[in-house]
Structure 1
């Protein structure tokens, strides 16, 4: 996040505060078809054409710190295995022995220089999944080891996170992330430490769950404290990026500016973070706004100088979502010295505050699916402040293929001219 981008965001916020309507030329949105959130047909299209062809976070590079370290990953609905090879490279294989289909490893994580199926001891090496040995090979007529390797999926790292894509010919991760990557650069994400994690099941479609975090239109209605909101949604500066990614930077409210000692919404300065370790290169704008980014399809990250949670939205079926949030923090200055012991008080308070916000959002989402499935909702109208949601749905159609989607469930491609490239 360089000075030019920060200046542009400041200008965008000033414009947002002063506008009396959407900018000239901004398209009028059609209603989002409700069936995209409620129908079996659309869920099946996602299962067939979205999740097998998109990059998702599987874990962190430190989860496989040494050669032979591995962990299993099943959130894409198929059994996968992430392992660091003897060459230091992280790869992802299907956790499926090519003999009778048993899992190659059964533990959630571990370390081994060979991947040996516990059923018949077919054994694979960790650098390419090559089948290197099997008992009684003489009894297999014409067995060709070269075609019995563990199948691989695409696997790359960004900002210390391990991403996987079931498509072995996927677009390179760096190209898929594109220009939004610059926002991560000052956070030194490779040096993060996991602070805590929480996982809940929300009884609504995964898009309904994710959409709650793609706009700040709801914030003062759901998250106010004694009638006071910490953010002012009227000034939110949003950016749409290629491949469905986006950012949303929202200024503090007048009351919150006064609370933290800011003279105005753009009096951005480094605030005293007390006992928290901080990433030293993070710009002051992050301390004095809500700075959130989304990576299509299911990753939302509200960034912070003391660290940040990574929110992941995993569809369990069309009516339920597993929502994970994993809080990471920088390790600058050796300030995380509690080892595996209880979180210190300041982190317990930070956890309680963020979890309260999440619980407020989930309380609002819990009754929505049943309500959406009633005949009363004919369509979902979006406003200019909710354009990140439309951007998500446009990319969904591009990945699935508009020709596969019934015309009544498609969304028009309207935002091309408003994407930052």
Structure 2
């Protein structure tokens, strides 16, 4: 997030405030079919073609600091096992013994230099998943241990997060994140630690949840307090990245500018964050705007100099989602982690404030799903301010493969000329 990018964002905000219509030539979106959010058919298509073919966050590197340390991960619908190898690399295997299908490990976390199935003690090593020991091997006719390795999934790390991808032919994680790194690199994610986490099961499709964080068109209607909206959606500067990622930087409203003692919406200065330590090297713009990045398909990160939450959306079924938010920040002086059961008062205050924002969004999601499932709505018109939502849906279709989607459920590929590369 260098000076040139910050100035480009400032210029984009000036343009957004001044415009009286979408940019000349910007495409008109057809309605997004509600069947994408409401039908078992589209949920099945996603389960078959989307989730097995994309990078998702499975955990954090500090969960497995030493060789043999592991954690399990089931949110892609299959049992996976992430383990630190003897060479320090992070590996991901299916947690499925190649004998009779029992889990190789049963605990959600642990440490072992060998992965030993508790059913019959078939044993695998932690670097390549190679089968190295079979009790009573003499009783198997023609058993070839080299053909019985634990199946692998792709695994890599970025900013302290462990990503997995079931598609062995997927692009490298670095290529997949691509230029979205310009927003994330300055925050030194690998040095941050979990402050606290929350999880909710919400009666709506996962995309309803994700879309709520991809625009600020709703902000003054859902998040105003005492008649004051903190942000001004009219100036929101958005950027579309390859692979469905995007950013959105929203300036303060006039009321909040005055209340904050700023001279104007772009009077950006570093604020005093004490007693919370701040992340160095982050531009002042972040202190005086709402700065957010989305990572396709299911992560929204509202960035901040004191740290940030990541909001993650996992489909349970076509009409139910698990929403997690996990806050990360520089650990307290002299400590290597936070104790979520004994947070200092300033973090309790911050936690309450962010949880309130999440509650305001959450209260709309279940009723919205019910309304979408009525015959009164067959499609959703999307405006220019909501273009990050269209960008999400375009990438969903690209990953799934348009040929795998019924024609009446597709979205047209329109935004390629507006993607920053």
With the shorter chain as reference, the TM-score category is: over 0.9
* Match in the other structure for 1:71: 71
* Cα 1:334/1:236, change in 2 over 3 Å: farther
Alpha carbons of 1:335 and 1:140: their partners in 2 closer, same or farther (altered >3 Å)? closer
Equivalent position of 2:228 in the other structure: 228
Provide the residue aligned with 1:129 in structure 2: 129
* Partner secondary structure for residue 33 of structure 2: coil
What residue is the counterpart of 1:88 in the other structure? 88
- Relative to structure 1, the CA distance from residue 127 to residue 9 in structure 2 (aligned partners, 3 Å threshold; closer, same or farther) is same
Equivalent-residue separation in structure 1 for 2:392 and 2:244 (angstroms)? 5
The secondary structure found in structure 1 opposite 2:357 is helix
Aligned to 1:198: 198
Given the alignment of the two structures, is residue 163 of structure 1 paired with residue 149 of structure 2, yes or no? no
What SS does structure 2 have at the residue aligned with 1:328? strand
Q: Is the 1:122–1:133 contact (alpha carbons within 8 Å) kept by the matching residues of 2?
A: yes
Asked whether the 8 Å contact 1:278–1:332 carries over to 2, the reply is no
Show the counterpart of 2:400.
400
Aligned mates of 1:235, 1:273 — CA distance in 2: 25
CA shift in 2, pair 1:186/1:8, >3 Å: same
Aligned length: 421
Q: Which whole-Å deviations, capped at 9, do the CAs of 1:92-129 have from their partners, x for residues lacking one?
A: 00000000000000001010000000000000000100
After superposition, residues 371-382 of structure 1 pair within 5 angstroms as 371-382=371-382
Is 1:217 the counterpart of 2:224? The answer is no
1:334 is displaced (CA, Å) by 4.3
2-structure distance, mates of 1:121, 1:202 = 40
Q: Shift of residue 366 of structure 1?
A: 1.6
Q: CA RMSD in A?
A: 1.2
Contact 1:113–1:125 at 8 Å: present in 2 too? yes
Q: CA deviation at 1:274?
A: 2.2
Residue 145 (str. 1) matches residue 145 (str. 2): yes
Give 1:273 shift: 1.1
* Correspondences of 1:356-371 after superposition (within 5 Å): 356-371=356-371
Flag structure 2 segments of 5+ consecutive residues without an equivalent.
none
- How does 1:10-25 map onto structure 2 within 5 Å? 10-25=10-25
Q: C-alpha distance in 2, partners of 1:144/1:174?
A: 36
**Using the alignment, how far apart are the partners of 1:390 and 1:338 within structure 2?**
38
Distance 2:179 2:197 in 1: 28
1:337: how far off?
7.6
2-structure distance, mates of 1:74, 1:126: 19
Deviation at 1:333, TM superposition (A): 5.1
- Spell out the pairing of 1:29-68 with structure 2 (5 A cutoff): 29-68=29-68
What's the offset of the Cα at 1:335? Answer: 7.2
Structure 2 counterpart SS, 1:45: helix
Cα deviation code 1:224-274 (max 9, x no counterpart): 010100000000000001000000000011121222221111011101112
Given that residues 130 and 149 in structure 1 are in contact (C-alpha distance below 8 angstroms), is that contact kept between their aligned partners in structure 2?
yes
Residue 353 of structure 1: SS of its match in structure 2? helix
Q: 2:287 maps to which residue?
A: 287
Is the Cα–Cα contact under 8 Å of residues 104 and 115 in structure 2 kept in the other structure?
A: yes
The offset of 1:378, in angstroms, is 2.4
Runs of 5+ unmatched residues, structure 1? none
Equivalent residue, structure 1, for 2:342: 342
Structure 2 equivalent of residue 178 of structure 1:
178
Q: How does 1:174-323 map to 2 (within 5 A)?
A: 174-323=174-323
Deviations 1:316-367 (A, max 9, x none): 0000000000000023854778656500000000000000000000001121
- Displacement after TM superposition at 1:39 (Å): 1.1
Give the 3 Å change call, closer, same or farther, for CA 333–343 of structure 1 in structure 2. Answer: closer
Inter-partner Cα distance in structure 2 for 1:378 and 1:138: 63
How far did 1:281 drift?
1.0
| 1:8 paired to 2:8 | yes
Contact 1:238 1:249 in 2 (8 A): yes
TM-score of the pair, normalised by structure 2: 0.98
Distance change in 2, residues 1:419/1:342 (3 Å): same
TM-aligned CA distance change 1:147 to 1:335, over 3 Å: closer
Q: With structure 1 as the length reference, what TM-score do the two structures score?
A: 0.98
Inter-partner Cα distance in structure 1 for 2:89 and 2:222? 45
